[in-house]
Amino acid sequence: MTDHSNALFQPFMLGDIPVTNRIAMAPLTRNRAARGTDAPHGLNATYYAQRADAGLLISEATQISRQGQGYIWTPGLYSETQVNGWKQVTDAVHAKGGHIIVQLWHVGRVSHVSLQDDGAAPVAPSAIAAKTKTFIETGFAETSMPQALDQAGIDAIIGDYVQAAQNATRAGFDGIELHAANGYLIDQFLKDGTNTRTDRYGGSVENRARFGLEVVDAMLKVFPAKRFGVRISPVSPANDAVTSDPAEVFGYFVAELSKRGIAFIHVVEGATGGPRDVAPFDYAALRRSFKGAYIANNGYTRAMAIEAVAEGRADLVAFGRPFIANPDLVARLRQDAPLNTVNPATLYGGGAEGYTDYPALAA
């Protein structure tokens, strides 16, 4: 049998981002931005710097505006304080020789009036409530009934994405991942269970993909395509977003993204954080239809990741939960060392405990 165990440790050009190995840290919501400003701070810089051996760090989902926030204490990238906070993070990662991109996020309907300016209703393609919970200052809460966006609202959000892309450059990020997965705003437009519009943003596959592609096109006017990627989750039911036609709508969306020459797609295969076989889907066909790189995610073990890269099914593999509990995950995968397990009680919110205090292997 061929020994492929080196496959994860070969360098790669992810568009214009040089990565030293095929291991990405997946975006992970941790709700530890500074209270009041939602800006990253020193503790967050320490956390990312501890994990800087990953070929690519993808930041936790980061809202482009206050309207785009759906959970308490998630970081933003729309105020000067947030730009400066992220600069501390990117400086700390770069000092260790790592690369970090920012995942930009608008949650759409997955929000709560207490997180919105003036207690406004969250926005969405259509006024359909998500059967999913968010967490606010007082704990878990039902998401609020959203209002359907009009054209002015759509245009304003596209403007917020562009501003956030410009801020990403100022904050020192090596690239951007646009969050179009997991039932948030762009995914809400793509999927017919969450988009019942009858205008140019709803109905056909082309219409449902229009919003996401307009966002991409606007961002690519101010940010290089070779440092830009998009995360999708075609069959994930996360946040109550489902579609009757995942092959058609994601096939079209990815083919259009390919035409734009972006660096990568990042695909949540199966149900986010859950079963990979939740619904049939031809990920290999998606990969063939896209000329950039393919980052695979969801439930990969070391053996699965080695095989996927060695067989060419993925260029990088993103690990989520293993990176929470193992700051030195890359070294552990290299040595096939045992992994620490995640403490679920310290995932969301809090301080250093369960964040920067997971032990590395003894030297």
The yes or no reply on residue 63 touching ligand 8OZ (CB under 6 A) is no
Q: ∠ CA 214-219-223 to the nearest 5 degrees?
A: 150
The yes or no reply on residue 346 touching ligand 8OZ (CB under 6 A) is no
* Window 190-219: contact mask with ligand 8OZ (x via CB under 6 A): ------------------------------
Cβ closest to ligand 8OZ, residue 71 vs residue 161 = 71
Residue 309 CB, nearest approach to ligand 8OZ (Å): 23
Q: Name the residue among 103, 318, 17 with its Cα closest to residue 309.
A: 318
Question: Quick one: which of 23, 24, 58, 61 contacts ligand 8OZ (CB under 6 A)?
Answer: 61
> What Å distances lie between residue 134 and 106, 109, 139, CA to CA?
14, 10, 8
The yes or no reply on residue 323 touching ligand 8OZ (CB under 6 A) is no
Question: Quick one: which of 111, 144, 243, 272 contacts ligand 8OZ (CB under 6 A)?
Answer: 272
The yes or no reply on residue 143 touching ligand 8OZ (CB under 6 A) is no
Cβ closest to ligand 8OZ, residue 82 vs residue 182 = 182
Cβ closest to ligand 8OZ, residue 128 vs residue 318 = 318
Residue 184 CB, nearest approach to ligand 8OZ (Å): 7
Residues 6+ apart with CB under 8 A from 163: 64, 78
Span 68-87, contacts to ligand 8OZ by CB under 6 A: 71
The yes or no reply on residue 283 touching ligand 8OZ (CB under 6 A) is no
Q: Provide the annotated active-site residues.
A: 184
Q: Name the residue among 306, 308, 304, 281 with its Cα closest to residue 294.
A: 308
What is the rounded CA–CA span in Å between residue 157 and residue 155? 5
Q: How many residues bind ligand 8OZ (CB under 6 A)?
A: 6
The yes or no reply on residue 29 touching ligand 8OZ (CB under 6 A) is yes
Q: Name the residue among 309, 156, 318 with its Cα closest to residue 229.
A: 318
The yes or no reply on residue 167 touching ligand 8OZ (CB under 6 A) is no
Tell me the torsion sign for CA atoms 17, 18, 22, 25. negative
Question: Quick one: which of 82, 182, 298, 346 contacts ligand 8OZ (CB under 6 A)?
Answer: 182
Residue 71 CB, nearest approach to ligand 8OZ (Å): 5
Cβ closest to ligand 8OZ, residue 61 vs residue 271 = 61
In terms of residues, how long is the chain?
Answer: 363
Cβ closest to ligand 8OZ, residue 182 vs residue 195 = 182
The yes or no reply on residue 236 touching ligand 8OZ (CB under 6 A) is no
Q: 345: alpha, beta or left, given left = phi > 0 and alpha = psi -120 to 50?
A: alpha
Residues making contact with ligand 8OZ (CB under 6 A)? 29, 61, 71, 182, 238, 272
